[in-house]
Structure 1
Amino acid sequence: MSRGRAGDASRKPALVVISSQALSLWNFRGPLIRAWVAAGWRVVALAPDYDDAGRARVASLGAEPLDYSLGRAGLHPLRDVLDIARLVGLLLRLRPACSFAYFVKPVIYGGIAARLAGIPRRYAMVEGAGYVFSDPPQGPALRRRFLRWAVVALYRLGLAGVRKVLFLNRDDEEMFRMLRLVSPDQTECVGAIGVDLDHFAPASSVVEPLVFILAARLLVEKGVREYVEAARLVRRLRPEVRFILLGSPDQNPGSVSHSELLEWSSEGVVEWQAHVDDVRPWLARASVYVLPTWYREGVPRGIQEAMAMGRPVITTDMPGCRDAVVDGETGLLVPPRDSRALADCMLRFVDAPGLVCRMGQAARKFAEQAFDVHAANDRILRAMR
């Protein structure tokens, strides 16, 4: 009997998902993988950092977890070329009918490898333009300019011949067209990837005391330092207000350091907690979610989760963020890199705690309309035809 099932699986057309992070496969792509499996695909999920628990979680989605070699951060020409060659060999052995890559390196290197392996149907999802297109206040340094030039060139190779490139916001789609990385008939904006609205159920509002939370990858570009400085400004006036910082240092070159986190925590300005697998209890005990990013986001997953749980949001008027928040209704938009403006918005909630409840209810309603993961998956499946 088991042999028959294995034989049936081997006859199904194979779809290879190429990611740079195993966690994202079940955390971000889980419902989509289930939808592919239900549609009759044999889904093979590639990631460079599986552990036993991760393999089990991906297998529970109906997919086959498979390791491959990929450096997540930075450009390392010799290693990257070897990784592409190994991936070509792996894809030639798998002989999939379709590939789907997301995150920067999988889109670029996975796209190049899939093309060399002769995969006929190739798809890519751009989830935000990312680090190299996010300029620091003093403007891009020479190293970042070179990196941007290299990434643009590599994107051009990785996206060549891709059947459809999916974007989460119009700003990124327009930028990629302007850079001539994609053609107009090659792109489609599918909006937010969505969250499970039952899993991220509304929680009661918290107003005594008011608690702000930033939960994200702890990158400088995410506005972590602006958040800490705004917390200092608010606590000078209202010392009872709490500020939670949730996340861990990252391999990305823009990560804040572990020593900074310890310093902020010992100072008492923020309560730092390293990465957790389930963010819901932390959002439930918070009043307002804050993401002061100056990073070119897709549509931030953290904002979607917070709004689904009925939390108003303070974020920046940046690509992706302004697509997720209706200023003055579901939250507040602030200029990027402006700690004073961020603190002023926080104080609006502190001085008028009724806004937490009113905007939180509006946030949940907006999430029901715009962030339903099942509707998002339908849009992706339609784009892939």
Structure 2
Amino acid sequence: MSQPLSSNLPSSALQGRKLVFVVTEDWFFASHFLPMARAARELGLDVAVVTRVRSHRDIIEATGARVIPLQAERRSLNPMAAGYAAGQLASILKAEKADLVHCIALRSILIGGFAAAMAGISERVYALTGLGFLGARMDMIGRLAQRAVRLLVRGLETAKTRYLFENTDDPKLLGLDPADPRVTIVGGAGIDPKALHPEPLPAQPPLKVAVVARMLWSKGIDLAVEAVQAARAQGAAIELSLYGAPDPSNPKAIPEATLRTWSAEPGITWHGATRNIAAVWRDHHVACLPSRGGEGLPRTLLEAAACGRAIVTSDVPGCRTLVRDNIEGRIVPPDDAASLTEVLVLLAGRPDLVARMGDAARARVLDGFTERDVMDAVKRLYSAVLAP
């Protein structure tokens, strides 16, 4: 998945040099980026993670990284608040004598980029993990917002800045060619194929479909509900399970009352958040994520694929990076419940196809989307940035 980066810099030359990750939330780092911290430690780097600390400090520190609290509101649009956070972060970077700053996601890129400039650090990695609700908007406001993001991020670029993406669509939003040597593409967060592995499929009928995601409108949860209701109305034996919690700090959060109303419908159950991903896919046949856009490369799809489950998702960046139509699963147009219904009805009557797609999904993950694949790509990236 990564672009080739050649560097003759030996790991011993990096021993003790300091890498500082900047990320808004400790849970986000713990969920997606621990392999990158481990990769840096393999290179001998001294690693610190600057973030808002909630309840994941121990998980992060288990990689050998240090955790430094940052007081910053994740969703605040107040320029003064952002400026205060950048100033606070610049002081941390100076005190740490950081050699490299790795900023994860848009807000951290903006605050971390300003902070690195104030601290005089030109070696930076900007990791854009999707555009969230900005990427899901295709109207004039969305296009203007994306243009503003491009100007802001590229304005924080130095000669030593490198970019990290999870799909080949997002670089273009910043005016970058995916083949640019400054760009590295990785297979999302990466998956440990030993921790998540295929189990025998449950008996059919019914076809058991699961959505594992934050309960956001942008994830298309309502489309999955509508499609399953329509499929059942046509006589298809399908059940839908929703796993995930609303994110109260996200403007696209689905109200809990709405989730409970859906869960009262026949064949639909909202289970709330889960930490036992393996158990979810052991009990289901198909992973569904009818996203409206803004994805990097959804970890939920990687997890389902690692467990050998067929995937039904939408034709948006990130989702189509992993899933090829009629191979690992089915790709449907975004915001199209009718097409999603048609696909689910088809799969409900084709257990052989569901099994074949699940086998292909597992093979797909093993070909460039594992944690080791991501770690090796990141190690090449860090070595290149820190080379004289």
Give TM-score scaled by structure 2 length. 0.88
Task: Describe the superposition over 1:130-169 as per-residue Cα deviations: whole angstroms up to 9, x where unpaired.
Answer: 2213216xx355xx56654553443234445552111221
Matched, 1:48 2:25: no
Match of 1:7 in 2: none
Bigger fraction of residues in helix: 1
Matched, 1:87 2:89: yes
Is residue 107–residue 124 contact of structure 1 (8 Å, CA) maintained in 2? yes
Give the percent of matched residue pairs that are identical in Structure 1 and Structure 2.
Answer: 27
* Displacement over 4 Å in runs of 4+: 144-150, 182-185
More divergent stretch after superposition (224-233 vs 121-130): 121-130
Distance 1:301 1:159, change over 3 A: farther
Match of 2:233 in 1: 236
Deviation at 1:344, TM superposition (A): 0.7
Instruction: Name structure 1 gaps, 5 residues minimum.
Output: 1-10
Alpha-carbon distance between aligned partners in 2 of 1:60 and 1:41, rounded to the nearest angstrom: 15
Q: How does 1:243-258 map to 2 (within 5 A)?
A: 243-250=240-247, 251-258=249-256
Task: Describe the superposition over 1:28-71 as per-residue Cα deviations: whole angstroms up to 9, x where unpaired.
Answer: 222221221121111111111333xx111111111111110222
Match of 2:63 in 1: 61
More divergent stretch after superposition (185-194 vs 211-220): 185-194
Distance 1:281 1:43, change over 3 A: same
Deviation at 1:359, TM superposition (A): 1.0
Match of 1:291 in 2: 289
Match of 2:325 in 1: 327
Is residue 110–residue 158 contact of structure 1 (8 Å, CA) maintained in 2? no
Deviation at 1:278, TM superposition (A): 3.0
Is residue 135–residue 295 contact of structure 2 (8 Å, CA) maintained in 1? no
Q: Secondary structure at the match of 1:365?
A: helix
Task: Describe the superposition over 1:88-146 as per-residue Cα deviations: whole angstroms up to 9, x where unpaired.
Answer: 1121111111111111111221121112111242111111232213216xx355xx566
Match of 2:21 in 1: 17
Q: Secondary structure at the match of 1:267?
A: coil
**Alpha carbon RMSD of aligned pairs, Å?**
2.2
Task: Name the amino acid aligned to 1:97.
Answer: D
Which fold has the larger relative contact order, with Cα–Cα distance below 8 Å and residues 6 or more apart in sequence?
2
Q: Secondary structure at the match of 2:130?
A: coil
Is residue 165–residue 187 contact of structure 1 (8 Å, CA) maintained in 2? yes
Match of 2:193 in 1: 197
Is residue 223–residue 337 contact of structure 1 (8 Å, CA) maintained in 2? yes
Alpha-carbon distance between aligned partners in 2 of 1:109 and 1:194, rounded to the nearest angstrom: 26
More divergent stretch after superposition (12-21 vs 238-247): 238-247
Q: Secondary structure at the match of 1:382?
A: helix
Q: For 2:370, which of 347, 362, 372 is the aligned residue? A: 372
Task: Describe the superposition over 1:283-330 as per-residue Cα deviations: whole angstroms up to 9, x where unpaired.
Answer: 221110001012132221111110010000001111111110121111
| Count of aligned pairs | 367
Alpha-carbon distance between aligned partners in 1 of 2:157 and 2:131, rounded to the nearest angstrom: 14
Task: Name the amino acid aligned to 2:182.
Answer: Q
Is residue 47–residue 67 contact of structure 1 (8 Å, CA) maintained in 2? yes
Alpha-carbon distance between aligned partners in 2 of 1:159 and 1:108, rounded to the nearest angstrom: 11
Distance 1:85 1:183, change over 3 A: farther
Give TM-score scaled by structure 1 length. 0.89
Match of 1:30 in 2: 34
Q: How does 1:1-385 map to 2 (within 5 A)?
A: 12-51=16-55, 54-135=56-137, 139-140=139-140, 147-148=145-146, 150-161=148-159, 163-177=161-175, 184-208=180-204, 209-238=206-235, 240-250=237-247, 251-385=249-383
Task: Name the amino acid aligned to 2:71.
Answer: S
Task: Name the amino acid aligned to 2:173.
Answer: M
Alpha-carbon distance between aligned partners in 2 of 1:98 and 1:360, rounded to the nearest angstrom: 40
Is residue 74–residue 252 contact of structure 1 (8 Å, CA) maintained in 2? no
